[in-house]
Amino acid sequence: MNATTPPSLVIDVVDTGDTVLFRVRGELDLRTGPRLDRALTPFHARHCELDLAEVPFTDSTGVNLLIRHQRGAARAGGSLCLVAVTRSVRRVLEITGTAGLLIADRGLPRKPGSEAP
């Protein structure tokens, strides 16, 4: 990847009817945040879960985006929570005081390099 190529962010959406699961891969930052923002917005009235087990990095843009969407979901009668995070993302959430607000305790199987909430 060169300096002009934005980092990739891949979002797979699995709608089970009751829950919408977003599996996110790649860095979540200023360049890639708008892609996740557009993906989450139409689902505010639904129960949404984010699997960030393949997100090696997030910055304040990602944290702000997650909090903003969680609040938007609550206002619309939905919900948003993280069901899997990497150690590095968990650390950012802990430092910012948002881990307890965003991470759900679901007891999901761990993926290599990820940490169950």
- The string of pLDDT tens digits covering residues 58-111 is 999 999 999 999 999 999 999 999 999 999 999 999 999 999 999 986 544 444
Residue-wise pLDDT for 7-47, tens only, equals 589 999 999 999 999 999 999 999 999 999 999 999 999 99
- How far, in Å, CA of 7 to CA of 75, rounded? 32
Helices (H) and strands (E) in the chain, counts: 4, 5
Q: State the pLDDT at residue 8.
A: 87
Mean pLDDT over residues 53-57, rounded?
97
Tell me the domains of the chain and their CATH numbers: 9-106 (3.30.750.24)
Which residue pairs from 1-9 have beta carbons closer than 8 angstroms and sit at least 24 positions apart in sequence? 6/31, 6/32, 7/31, 7/32, 8/32, 9/35, 9/36
Q: State the pLDDT at residue 46.
A: 97
Mean pLDDT over residues 51-61, rounded?
96
